[in-house]
Amino acid sequence: MVATAASSAFFPVPSPDTSSRPGKLGNGSSSFSPLKPKFVANGGLKVKASASAPPKINGSSVGLKSGSLRTQEDTPSAPPPRTFINQLPDWSMLLAAITTAFLAAEKQWMMLDWKPKRPDMLVDPFGLGSIVQGGLVFRQNFSIRSYEIGADRTASIETVMNHLQETALNHVKSAGLLNDGFGRTPEMFKRDLIWVVAKMQVMVNRYPTWGDTVEVNTWVAKSGKNGMRRDWLISDCNTGEILTRASSVWVMMNQKTRKLSKIPDEVRHEIEPHFVDCAPVIEDDDRKLRKLDEKTADSIRKGLTPKWDDLDVNQHVNNVKYIGWILESTPQEVLETQELSSLTLEYRRECGRESVLESLTAVDPSGKGFGSQFQHLLRLEDGGEIVKGRTEWRPKTAGINGAIASGETSHGDS
């Protein structure tokens, strides 16, 4: 009984209309051939089964493989066990996606048109500058950044001075004369000589605003026997309006002894081919500056000390920093209601990191016009003069450049 039940589980029961033939196994289907025993020489029994077609179970064909039965219908196989390997992403698909993204980006890059479409766009998009006018003038463009403007939403005087200094150094570099340090030529480097500014004059017609693009042109000329003059013109790239004129005189100093030096002939031969024979852009202001002290000054600011960031590569305070210190003693009312229109500075000596300074300001009695004029002195605590200067101011135009009037507060800005 048990054997019969086991057999019926694997072999179908024939239908009533199926004819039975004698000699077939269990009167089953005719697809099975009889088993024929065959004796081999070694005495073993070898059974040979002859089958003309694969057997069927419950109407489905089956095949025997490795001693097991397998249906030929497309039955889904069980998923493989989850392992670390088969849970990894398809790297080929990821690589294809990255490649597609790069190709699309490259196509967009090649389609870009770098030519300026408006007159106010940068002619020099990377701000590197270039030599023009027969190799004697250096030109560079600057875009006014948000961090370069002040409370009036215009560029500060320090921003203007930084543009002057940057173009001066880039001019020397573009001319192939920059060796080491701040604008030192190869012959200056051999003799431990550096440039120091002796006098600076700046006249500002209008300050640029955030987003404006300015063009700076600079060149050098001879100044006396042992000096060099450098001039600048700053203009609006869009309108061509002259915004600032500046002129300066430079002399040489020995970096080790910190004493002034004559220009050696070897250095003169390096720089003279780059001199321009022309008048300065600003007439020399030769008015004498009266002596300032605690008694004659109207305001004094003490305890000014340079920071490490205030030093340049020649290990003395950057020239632009002096302007900020001078303005420290300028009356607050003037800073709020007027803007600096002209500046004259005479540099007496350098200032080091350990120096402690005082800023003195007095009203210039010789001042004329509708603005204010002041005389300034920046000195060491022991009385040694660092910088003497004169500033001229003009009233701020109401509403120009979106400036907020003095005393008003904008609660909408954050």
Q: Return the active site residues.
A: 314, 316, 351
Q: Which of 300, 357, 358, 356 is nearest to 329 (CA)?
A: 300
Give 156's contacts (C-beta < 8 A, 6+ positions apart). 148, 149, 150, 207
Identity of residue 390: R
The residue with tokens 């196994």 is: 25
Q: Which of 359, 394, 389 is nearest to 375 (CA)?
A: 389
Q: Which of 110, 271, 101 is nearest to 185 (CA)?
A: 271
- Annotate 341-366 with DSSP letters as a single string: EEEEEEE-S---TT--EEEEEEE-TT
State the Cα angle at 137 between 135 and 141, rounded to 5°: 120
The residue with tokens 């004498």 is: 288
Written as six digits, the tokens of 312 are 């340049």
Q: Which of 228, 320, 318, 309 is nearest to 274 (CA)?
A: 228
Q: Which of 169, 127, 379, 172 is nearest to 267 (CA)?
A: 172
> Sign of the C-alpha dihedral, residues 166, 331, 311, 293?
positive
- Annotate 321-336 with DSSP letters as a single string: HHHHHHHHTS-HHHHH
The 10 Å Cβ neighbour count of residue 379 is 20
State the Cα angle at 98 between 93 and 100, rounded to 5°: 95
Burial class of 242 by CB neighbour count within 10 A (0 to 12, 13 to 18, 19+): middle
The 10 Å Cβ neighbour count of residue 177 is 18
Per DSSP (E only), the strands in 66-223 are 68-71, 130-132, 137-143, 193-204, 213-223
* Cα separation, 142 vs 87, whole angstroms: 54
H/E stretch holding 111 reads helix 91-111
